[in-house]
Amino acid sequence: MRILVWHVHGSWTTSFVQGGHDYLLPLVPDRGADGGGRARTWNWPANAREVPFDRLRDEEVDVVVLQRPRDLGLCQEWLGRVPGVDLPAVFVEHNTPKGDVPLTRHPLADQDRIPIAHVTHFNRSAPTRVIEHGVVDPGERYTGELERIGVAINEPVRRGRVTGSDLLGRFADVAPVDVFGMRLAGLHEKYALDPARVALHEDPPQDVMHAALARRRVYLHPLRWTSLGLSLIEAMHLAMPVVVLASTEAVEAVPVETGVVSTRLDVLAEAVQGYLDDPDAARLAGKSARAYALERYGLGRFLADWDALLREVVEP
């Protein structure tokens, strides 16, 4: 198939474009949110091809994968085709609801032309499908040689309590914390973090980040209100033990033998200290984490689920 898909969530798209299709990625001049083209910090296959937005009408497109309400209008403007009417479409919902959550309703909940695919069961609402995450296996790289905590968060200053950014100081009291991600500037100032205890690693290439994370003794996932951070799944693939705030889908993703999940910061801090003190226990939990992640969040299952849904949409 020839699939139009926006580069919105880098890690998810990295997995999605590994399938056996042609992937058309809109490109705008500044590589902004409406057209980032191919990734520059991930290694994507050649069949993921960036196309300038003003040339999309020249392309044959079999199906469009929407990820934001505005993609509906962009598709109509750039291709001259209406998603769900004269172009098969699927809407992927990555995020937890925003705003007055108990009263929210998905923008596409009241139509039946475009299926909604959620990435977690926690997010599921209205008549939808769930296609759980799958990631490209980075390999079993864990060494845990550094008695430090690894965290991966994008935009922790802007997103604040959503990503648990305000909790980092509590864990920095236990061990030095290394934060990997995009747009980290200002994190120390916003939460009065000691630079000697919290180090920032701004937007490293994915492979570099994986190698660096795997040297840290434990992976911390403090996110409060996100769907399910792919960084957590990637850390488990690396065979890292994980310490996780018990929120949203995380309680499903982390069985007891793979790490510690709790809403209590004292329990999580004790778990971090326990892995620091017992490298063998950390290694054993990490191996269990990798085994579980490969089984539940493997790339093969993810791509097969998407192939099935896309065939259903394109060839009803």
DSSP 103-139: G---TTTT-SSS-EEESSSTT--SS-EE----B----
pLDDT recorded at residue 232: 97
Q: 152: part of which helix (H) or strand (E)?
A: strand 146-152
pLDDT recorded at residue 103: 80
* Distance (Å, whole) CA 17 – CA 5: 9
* Distance (Å, whole) CA 155 – CA 178: 15
pLDDT recorded at residue 41: 75
Question: By C-alpha distance, which of 307, 297, 304 is closest to 138?
Answer: 297
Specify the 3-state DSSP secondary structure of 200: strand
The answer to whether 25 and 50 have CB atoms below 8 angstroms apart is yes
pLDDT < 50 regions, the chain = none
pLDDT recorded at residue 128: 84
Q: Are strands 89-93 and 63-66 parallel, antiparallel or unpaired?
A: parallel
Dihedral sign of CA atoms 209, 214, 216, 220 in order: positive
CATH class (in words) of the domain with range 146-296: alpha beta
* Distance (Å, whole) CA 160 – CA 95: 16
Domain 2-134+299-314 has CATH 3.40.50.2000: yes
| CATH topology identical between 2-134+299-314 and 146-296 | yes
* Distance (Å, whole) CA 64 – CA 8: 14
Radius of gyration for the chain, computed over Cα atoms and rounded to the nearest angstrom: 20
Number of H helices, E strands in the chain: 11, 13
Dihedral sign of CA atoms 179, 184, 185, 188 in order: negative
Sequence-separated (6 or more) residues with CB below 8 Å from residue 12: 92, 94, 119, 133, 230
| Residue the block writes with tokens 């990631």 | 135
Which residues sit opposite 259 in a β-bridge?
242
Contacts 24+ apart (CB under 8 A), 113-118: 113/84, 113/85, 113/89, 114/66, 114/83, 114/84, 114/89, 114/90, 115/90, 115/91, 115/309, 115/312, 115/313, 116/90, 116/91, 117/90, 117/91, 117/92, 117/93, 117/309, 118/92, 118/93, 118/227
pLDDT recorded at residue 126: 67
Token pair for 53? 């937005």
Spell out the domain ranges in the chain.
2-134+299-314, 146-296
* Distance (Å, whole) CA 24 – CA 3: 6
Specify the 3-state DSSP secondary structure of 147: strand
* Distance (Å, whole) CA 99 – CA 95: 12
